[in-house]
Chain A
Amino acid sequence: VQLQQSGAGLLRPSETLSLNCEVGGESFSTYFWTWIRQPPGKGLEWLGEIDHNGVTNYNPALKSRVTLSVDTSKKQFSLKLTSVTAADAAVYFCARVRSYVFDVWGQGTMLTVSS
């Protein structure tokens, strides 16, 4: 299985981050799919997860600004993060959730927030 991320990496403050993650070579319906971010030089933060039916779990710390969605026909899941600020600058990773671990990861997308 491969995860291929896409989406814009340069935003102005208050704009909305939109990222996609396309799942290749694997059954999309079997797993949950998740997003994690990592600010430069810092640790990992879990953002949320979604399954093929659109069932979601979100990090309460970001729940008001994060929306996950899924397009099963494209085997793709997506992240939207509204009202970005400099604090949201990070590398954003998508990953597969299998048996309580994140076993396959995307390549990462760097978000820069600058006016």
Chain B
Amino acid sequence: DVQMTQSPPSLSASVGDSVTITCRASQNINYYLSWYQQKPGKAPKLLISYASTLQSGVPSRFSGSGAGTEFTLTISSLQPEDFATYYCLQSYIIPPYTFGQGTNLEI
């Protein structure tokens, strides 16, 4: 299985800050990496596909980059609604699809 190592596990930031979350894959996953946002009691929401493709309706302050084994999600100018848990997902070497452990972004 491809192991996804996500860091940091938690992150404290303030409104207006810029933050970066990293996912590292144990094998080359090309660009088959997506990012999800999850708020308490809700299902995850897809933010970014193919490492850097922003989904329709997702604010442009979210951006993704990377290929191969290292990927980043950057949120610039944090807004109050951005405080949530973020997960990466690899979908290149399946089964199984594998998620990162999550990053809890706190105020």
A and B interact:
yes
Interface residues of A (CB under 8 A from B): 34, 43-46, 48-49, 57-61, 93, 95, 99-103, 105-108
> Which residues of the partner chain B approach A95 to less than 8 Å between Cβ atoms?
43
A16–B98 CA distance with the chains assembled, in angstroms: 25
Closest to B101 in A: A43
B83 at the interface (CB under 8 A from A): no
Q: B32, A45: Cβ atoms under 8 Å?
A: no
Does residue B96 face the partner (Cβ distance < 8 Å to A)? yes
Query: Whole-angstrom distance from the CB of A50 to the nearest CB of chain B?
Result: 12
Tally chain B residues at the interface, Cβ within 8 Å.
Answer: 25
B34, B43, B91: the one within 8 Å of A108 (CB): B43
Known: A103-B46, A107-B43. A43 touches B99 (CB 8 A): yes
Q: Which residues of A contact B97 (CB under 8 A)?
A: 34, 46
Q: Mark B29-63, 1 if CB is under 8 A from A, else 0.
A: 00010101000001111100110000100000000
- Give the residue of A59, A99, A100, A105 whose beta carbon is less than 8 angstroms from that of B44: A105
Tell me how far the C-beta of B49 lies from the nearest C-beta in chain A, rounded to whole angstroms. Answer: 5
Binding site for A on B (CB under 8 A): 1, 32, 34, 36, 42-46, 49-50, 55, 87, 89, 91-92, 94-102
Report chain B residues within 8 Å CB of A59: 95-96
- In angstroms, Cα B32 to Cα A34, docked, is 17
Question: Could you say which residues of chain A place their CB within 8 Å of the CB of B44?
Answer: 44, 93, 102, 105
Contact among A57, A58, A101 for B49, CB-based, below 8 A? A101
Distance (Å) between the CB of B76 and the closest chain A CB? 22
Given contacts A43-B101, A107-B43, are A101 and B89 in contact (CB under 8 A)?
yes
Q: Are A99 and B87 in contact (CB under 8 A)?
A: no
Q: How far is the CA of A93 from the CA of B46 in the complex (A)?
A: 14
